[in-house]
Amino acid sequence: MTVGDLLNMPGWQVMVVEEHEDRYVIHARPVSCDPVCPQCGSSAAAKHGKDHQCLRDLTCHAKHVFIEFSRQRFRCLICKKTWFEPLSGVDERRFATLRLVRYIQQQSLTRTFAAIALECGLDEKSIRNLFHDYVEELERSVQIATPVIMGMDELHLLGQMRGVITDVQGRSFVEVLPDRKKQTIVRYLAALPNKEQVQVCVIDMWRPYLDAIQETLPHVTVVIDKFHVIKKLNEIVEMVRKDIRSSLSERQVRQLMHDRFLLLKRPRDLSERDRLVLEGWLGTFPRLKAAYSLKEEFYEIYDAPAEEEAFDRFFAWEDRVMASCVYDAYLDFLLTIEHWGDQIFAYFRHRYTGGFVEAANGIGRVIDRQGRGYSFDVLRARLLYGQRMRQRKERTRKRAVPDDLRAPISVDEHLPDVVLSTLTSPLQSSWEHAQNTTSSG
């Protein structure tokens, strides 16, 4: 590779490269066409001095890169206006290359501002400003389609429960709301475009969700996520476990606390040792065994092939509960089934769950921890658009394209193309190195 190819930016010619301990300084000159006045369009122009300028570029070999050059100023002989020669691949407002700006913006969706600032040698405030500009661009250019199968759940962000709208089939966020109050949900659903295409909405047992849907989307079938139904059963078993602690020694209390996770697992997921331990506890405490057995038997209802058979299995299960020694523990659950029965059993006509949101809770907690001091708007943008970037990367990884052919990753097909150097450039190699370092760290 020649020195002239090093920068790999059309419209630039590299003259000299200086290597220092912590940076590269590339002395270059812009290659421009004949000057044309941007004010009147006249080509009658005279040189009007030069200005020494410096640009930041992507890091190379873990060193910061600066491009220093002299920029020609012109003066129009007709209208007397002055202007600088145009620069290719440069964001003049930020004195940086377009590829550095886009790299920072994309990284800001998934990494902390402080980490990016340290890598690129910029102030954290500059990273934050680039992030906000990028989010505004994404809001204008990315159209998130109204889902056919909608999910409605919540995430705990910045010490508050936030309403979350998801695309269950696409396993992606559609919107993150500032709270989960009924009026907030109603306001969002009322303004939802193409709301007639929503067929099913999967929710948990939060009453404002159901009320808001019935008020604004009366044609939609509401399904209670079975995860939340099973969660209540696990809470019953846990309550019974705690009740029997008073009859145990201190050593047994600690051991039962350690083994309580076995009560949450399905029998098929237990190892031989776990099965023996669990059988020991259940054999010792009949009330715990009854609670656990009824919880496991309820799973068989969800295995029913049709809604009618599910009802039959439920009524038979309910009879066993009422005849058991843990009827008192299951009473509130039976009342819940009575109250939410239509939505719970709608699952057998529309077998969808909101498992994606429950998994996304983990992502939300990580973002929340990373974003100490971040605003709700920042966390919302990271969930909406950062998750799309992760999905895009995953799809690219699954395609297993050879490294020498792989294109830079963008957030979405609708976004503007990223101005990046080709893979033969050391600057691009540094960009890839930074990504690999980030992902491995």
Same domain assignment for residues 234 and 338: yes
Q: Are residues 270 and 299 in the same domain?
A: yes
Q: What CA–CA distances, in Å, run from 127 to 102, 180, 314, 338, 381?
A: 11, 31, 56, 53, 15
Whether the per-residue pLDDT at 350 is higher than 90: the answer is yes
Does residue 108 form part of some domain?
A: no
For residues 178 and 376, is the Cβ–Cβ distance under 8 A?
yes
Q: Say which residue the tokens 């099913």 belong to.
A: 200
Closest CA to 11 of 438, 430, 419: 419
Q: 284 and 221 in one domain?
A: no
Q: Is residue 295 part of a domain?
A: yes
Q: Answer whether residue 130 is part of any domain.
A: no
Which of 340, 374, 408 corresponds to the end of one domain?
Answer: 374
- 390 pLDDT tier (thresholds 50, 70, 90): low
Residues 243 and 201 in one domain: no
| CB neighbour list of residue 128: distance below 8 Å, 6 or more residues apart | 113
Same domain, 360 and 342: no
Q: Which amino acid is at 47?
A: K
Whole-angstrom distance, CA of residue 160 vs CA of residue 178: 9
DSSP state of 145: P
| Predicted pLDDT of residue 355 | 75
- Are 286 and 318 in a shared domain? yes
DSSP secondary structure code for residue 425 in this structure: S
Long-range contacts of 394-402 (CB under 8 A, 24+ apart): none
Assigned domain for 62 exists: yes
Could you give the CA distance from residue 422 to residue 428 in angstroms, rounded to a whole number? Answer: 6
CA distance 8 to 33: 19
**pLDDT for position 395:** 55
Are 208 and 157 part of one and the same domain? yes
Q: Nearest CA to 244 among 203, 286, 192, 186?
A: 286
pLDDT digits (tens, 9 = 90+) for 23-48: 999 999 998 788 999 989 898 999 99
Q: What is the pLDDT of residues 302-344, one digit of tens each?
A: 999 999 999 999 999 999 999 999 999 999 999 999 999 999 9
What CA–CA distance (Å, rounded) separates 164 from 357?
A: 8
Instruction: Give the CATH number of the domain where residue 181 resides.
Output: 3.30.420.10
Q: Which of 245-249, 307-311, 400-404 has the lowest mean pLDDT?
A: 400-404
The two most distant CA atoms of the chain are separated, in Å, by 100
Q: How far is Cα 86 from Cα 98, in angstroms, rounded to an integer?
A: 14
Torsional class of 430: left (φ above 0), alpha (ψ -120 to 50), beta (otherwise): alpha
The pLDDT of 252-261, averaged and rounded, is: 72
DSSP 8-state class, residue 261 = G
CA distance linking residue 114 with residue 63, whole number of Å:
17
Cβ burial 223-262 (10 Å sphere, 16+ → b, else e): bbbbebbeebbeebbeebbeebeeeeeeeeeeebeeeeeb
Q: Measure the CA–CA gap between 167 and 222, rounded to whole angstroms.
A: 14
Beta-bridged to residue 79, according to DSSP, are: none
Is 333 in the same domain as 370?
A: no
Number of structural domains found in the chain = 3
Q: Say yes or no: 219 and 249 in one domain.
A: no
Residue 138 token pair: 């994404």
Closest CA to 110 of 437, 395, 385: 385
Sheet holding 160-167: strands in order across? 172-176, 160-167, 149-157, 200-203, 221-224
Place of tokens 């439920």: 314
Q: Are residues 239 and 340 in the same domain?
A: yes
Domain of residue 18 covers 1-89
Q: Dihedral through CA 79, CA 82, CA 85, CA 91, nearest 10? A: -120
18 within domain boundaries: yes
Angle, helices 124-141 vs 113-120, to 10°: value is 110
In a domain, 209, yes or no: yes
**pLDDT at 93 > cutoff 70:** yes
Q: Enter the pTM of the model.
A: 0.74
Whether 433 is in a domain gets the answer no
- Judge whether 111 and 105 are in contact, CB under 8 Å: no
The DSSP code for 147 is P
| Residue 438 pLDDT greater than 90, yes or no | no
pLDDT(289) > 80: yes
Model confidence at 371, pLDDT cuts 50, 70, 90, reads low
Q: Are 338 and 233 members of one domain?
A: yes
* Same domain (yes/no): 324, 370: no
pLDDT (tens digit per residue) in 174-210: 999 999 999 999 999 999 999 999 999 999 999 999 9
Angstrom CA distances, 425 to 59, 69, 258, 408, stand at 12, 20, 55, 13
